[in-house]
Structure 1
């Protein structure tokens, strides 16, 4: 422990003291850290940044693994579908963790910070007791893992407390209750809401909404003053006349649009020589990219194509599949009309899902 581990100026004991001090006081609080280690502030900061933070090569010693542990880790990686190459980890788009919430389990299909277990996955519990450095390293890794578990639990409780599990419902509520400026304020204030309780966050947003309303009222009063209006009665008359003018402008635009459509219709009749005019083709929606969506690994190829073409996420599709198959198993029969009543989604999407189940032999079609 008295010899230098990474450099001659720092012994192994001082390295452990530095790591324990940073774990206790936090990164950046170099004054109490240097006092506990017994080095100057600049020495502690430069050594930690150069050896631990910004060093492109790993400086910590490799942990020896027994052959049976290597086989277990390798088989577990294959079971999770992880490749041995150094390809970048696929990025999960925002909202996949929330959309993967399973109410019956009360948990998420994809955990926040899903790779936290990799810190302790390769620890060897049978290390030599005399090797104090390896023992301290194992303890530090367990502490880091525990802190990441606390952050995971805090994120879950945040989602539950603020009622963010149903994204569509939350978006619909925001659209009906809030104006565009208030929605913009809520998006800006969202990073700060994680540090507040639900009640404090609601008061914080309401105060900003009131401030935004005051700004809008002041802007409207300035508009009245620019138009020479000095009384509330005159302001009411101005608003009525302004509304009437806008209605008249809309009616004029509709009339012009109608006249132009009539001219287009007559021109097409003269061109084609009949009253049968072809309807414009309906533009098909763009297929949905579900490559990194939660639950995509549970689907077959034809199911992936169905979800992509109908723009249905894999997790809702799996729920529809479970509901339909359970209903079919219960009654031993199921029609397309009954399937539509059961799912309560777009009729075209229901028909495509029903046809896929029939083609796969999961249900028998009864007309």
Structure 2
């Protein structure tokens, strides 16, 4: 909307509001409402002169952000250009975008409770309903999803994405059936029936063409032809391959639902088995279960390494000792202790520390001292038991102290 030029009251020289008084007998004489209410007179203007009220349409009617003048231009523009041509309506109004015009019209004149819902009710009385069935229901009305291909793949397949067609379709000469048909006024009934039969044959060919496209989309034949990965994560695709014998008589949606439910059942069974293992080991909180899993994986790893080292030959067993010989404290160990360190995968310094703490703990318990020994965090429970058993067998501790 164009902004009007600044005008002033001819008496007090203040800027005229959008609603003001204009004298009908004096030329170019405008008065503000304040001066008009006081009955001022100046020059040739008298308070008894006839007048008219000037309103530039600044007040709001429906929306506080839209003036009455803009509302009038909006309705005039819709009447002139029609609903939907919002660009032209916006140009007609002036300082409004097409999006603002469209949103304001639907919000104020269609969806508004005070205006739109009143003038256009949901239930129109005496409304006629068309109950006649459609003349022709065809599978051709079902829209297929467009293929997500890049330019090179489109050229390889001769695919036209805007038409969703290929340069060579199934039964590519099907259009010949109707290409030469024309309606003449002097045809008899037999000729018309023949042309209708040709059109029916053409529609059957189109249906078969559409069916083949649907099969290609449903079973991802295009992706398999190009070599693109199928949708979904790799483990889900592998799981689907294992279940493909069950999918022989299922459609894609049924097969995916079946695979999803079977996968969910498998996951739930694994979780139940895991929870039973927690309960068997006296774990009642999930936080403790996480700690248990970490230690369990560590124990399994160490046990597997011990089994591998115990099954290796003597020449392979000497290699860890050679590596341990460069560690600090190696010269303080006996041959049996070196073998123990090799089996437990423990360096000599840690073994000596653990050995000292076990002996110290035995002495304190023997003399009734209540000081509890804190073993280092890197020491596993099975390592402590192995070392304590070794000390018992070699006379460092009496057997009665073994736990």
Structure-1-length-normalised TM-score: 0.27
> Which of structures 1 and 2 has the bigger CA Rg?
2
Give the structure, 1 or 2, with the largest relative contact order (CA under 8 Å, sep 6 or more): 1
Structure-2-length-normalised TM-score: 0.26
Higher helix share: 1
